[in-house]
Amino acid sequence: MRVLFEEIVFGTKRKEQIVDITGEVRAVLNRWGVQDGIVVIFAPHATASIVLNENEPGLERDILNLFNLIAPTDADYHHNRIDNNAHAHLRSAAFPPYVVVPVKNGKMLLGAWQRIMFVENDGPRAQRRVIVEYMGE
Amino acid sequence: MRVLFEEIVFGTKRKEQIVDITGEVRAVLNRWGVQDGIVVIFAPHATASIVLNENEPGLERDILNLFNLIAPTDADYHHNRIDNNAHAHLRSAAFPPYVVVPVKNGKMLLGAWQRIMFVENDGPRAQRRVIVEYMGE
Amino acid sequence: MRVLFEEIVFGTKRKEQIVDITGEVRAVLNRWGVQDGIVVIFAPHATASIVLNENEPGLERDILNLFNLIAPTDADYHHNRIDNNAHAHLRSAAFPPYVVVPVKNGKMLLGAWQRIMFVENDGPRAQRRVIVEYMGE
């Protein structure tokens, strides 16, 4: 059994932003030369999300609108008495900061329209991290 | 370590539909004769969801109503300028298309009322696929 | 490969309640002396959730308010014709009852503000169970 870790590190530029990391995850798996297993893509942040969906500019806006619908930026939150980012925490609670994807013959078994998208809910941030963990053969 | 894959393939008949696939997943695990590990049940579709919950006709309607509340069918979405299924994408983003379940002595450790339910958000479709991946002993 | 199971068992005292179980999960991993792998933290209940987020009293209230926004306690649900807890089922569908966390050198790779929080949606209950499964080296 192999258990492998890598970190993808990047900055975000806007308050809310979607960053497609599918290519980076694929590159890591290819470099490792893995076979059959799973990959866990995990952001160690309480104000970020990872969403599995189509990467299309209009849909990106719809997704960010949905995030804003679930937890509006400027609602009256209790957490904002000590910080100013409750909406971002709630979005990370509702849209969790990780996904698990099957890997077969070294390839993620994603559908044609499924991309791995990091969602910044509390940017901009100089450094965001995503852990890529492979476990399998 | 064993890493095993199977696909469950089926069609859907309605625009929105819940398909309980618990029995199919159990049958696959039984056929394989697995021991301790995990099973990842993953739909490679950007307009489907997999929900872990009770299978009761009234609750099915409540779940579909919740999906419609989160992303109403006929709201004004940006993605609909190039396609007509933004609501289905958003539902798949909010209710992800996979679940991970512990397996012990060959049995999924589901609670008494937990069933594995595929949710069609953009049907009918002639063919929907669900990947069942076991990893463990 | 090691596959290890433990159960965390506790009661809940209120109708809605957040229980931080991070310390219990860490204690189980420490006792096992694990290395690199994953941990699946899974509640076998159709009316509970597990959320990964900051544990701060104000945010706890915000999270419970969000749960109530997604599925209000006293809306008119179909499932309530045979039971009285549809809202709790819907919250468990929207906020799933499990999380998967990478483990490296025996430590969960959680961010500084990420805690593992069990959410009771249908309490009080004399006994709630959370399965902790480690798979890895």
Backbone angles phi, psi at C99, to 5 degrees: -140, 155
Q: Does A64 touch chain B (CB under 8 A)?
A: no
Contacts of A101 in chain B (CB under 8 A): 42, 98
CB contact under 8 A, C82 and B58: yes
Instruction: With H, G, I as helix, E, B as strand and everything else as coil, classify residue B58.
Output: helix
Inside any domain, residue A21: yes
Residue type at position A37: G
Count of structural domains, chain A? 1
Backbone angles phi, psi at C94, to 5 degrees: -80, -35
Q: What dihedral do alpha carbons A10, A12, A16, A22 form, nearest 10°?
A: -30
Contacts of B90 in chain A (CB under 8 A): 62-63, 66
Residue-wise pLDDT tens digits, A38-77: 999 999 999 999 999 999 999 999 999 999 999 999 899 9
Q: Which of B3, B81, B94 lies closest to A136 in CB terms?
A: B3
Inside any domain, residue A71: yes
Q: CA Rg, chain A, in Å?
A: 16
pLDDT value, residue B108: 98
Give the mutation candidate from C45, C85, C89, C103 for the B interface (greatest B CB count, under 10 A): C89
Instruction: Look at phi and psi of residue C43 and say left if phi exceeds 0, alpha if psi is from -120 to 50, else beta.
Output: beta
- Classify burial at B76, counting beta carbons within 10 Å of its beta carbon; exposed 0-12, middle 13-18, buried 19 or more: exposed
Mean pLDDT of chain B: 98
Which residues are bridge partners to C94 per DSSP?
Answer: none
Token representation of residue B111: 């609670």
pLDDT value, residue A2: 98
Q: Does B66 touch chain A (CB under 8 A)?
A: no
Residue-wise pLDDT tens digits, B21-39: 999 999 999 999 999 999 9
Inside any domain, residue A1: no
Q: B121: closest CA among B103, B101, B94? A: B94
Domain holding A131, by residue range, is 6-136
pLDDT value, residue C94: 98
> Residue B14 belongs to a domain with what CATH number?
2.60.120.460
Band (pLDDT 50/70/90 cuts) for residue A125 is very high
What is the pLDDT averaged over residues C7-28? 98
